[in-house]
Structure 1
Amino acid sequence: MDLVDIVAAIRNVATRLDGVPRELHVQAKEYASAERDYRIALRQEMLKLRSEGFPATLIADIARGNVAELKFKRDLAESLFKSATESSKALQAELSGLQSIYRRQDEV
């Protein structure tokens, strides 16, 4: 790899890193919204089951089963947020490695 290729790779990674904060913000917002929707639906379902006279020991399990789709969406949003965070860390590590290679090549 010559210096021109290394500089081009560094610019490429830096450009990709520029979009990371925006993506993290979007993913965090989607995760928070999914969490809110799930908790609201779970609370409403528990109150509904309580008013229908279900035994208190079963309400939590039944309610969670009834709102399982929202929990799935919440878990998926959480995974996407964590994935975006890890992707950001990987890009930062790649950039650091390229910068180290650049410094070594420049010394030679």
Structure 2
Amino acid sequence: MDLFDIAAAIRNVATRLDGVPRELHVQAKEYASAEREYRIALRQEILKLRAEGLPATLISDVARGTLAELKFKRDLAESLFKSASESSKALQAELSGLQSIYRRQDEA
């Protein structure tokens, strides 16, 4: 790999890194929104079940079971946010490695 190829690879990774903050912001907002939606619905379901006279020991499990789809969406949003964050770290490591190779090639 010559210096030109390494420099092109560095530019490519740097370009990909430019979009990371925006993607992280989008994913964080979606996660927070899904969390809020789930918690509001859970609160409402718990209050409804309590008003219906369901035994207190069952309310939590029944409410969470009823809202399983919202919890799934919340968990998926959280996973996507964490995945985007890890991708950012991988790109930073790749860039660092390419920069090290570039320096070593340049010194040779």
- How many angstroms apart in 2 are the aligned matches of 1:42 and 1:14? 42
Q: How many residues align?
A: 108
Q: Which residue of structure 2 lines up, in the alignment, with residue 77 of structure 1? A: 77
Structure 1 ranges of 4+ moved more than 6 A: none
The TM-score normalised by the length of structure 2 is 1.00
Q: Secondary structure at the match of 2:105?
A: helix
* Residue-by-residue CA offset, 1:9-64 (whole Å, 9 max, x unaligned): 00000000000000000000000000000000000000000000000000000000
* Letter paired with 1:96: S
The TM-score normalised by the length of structure 1 is 1.00
Does 2:98 correspond to 1:95?
no
Q: Which residue of structure 1 lines up, in the alignment, with residue 18 of structure 2? A: 18
CA RMSD of aligned residues (A): 0.2
Structure 1 alignment gaps of length 5 or more:
none
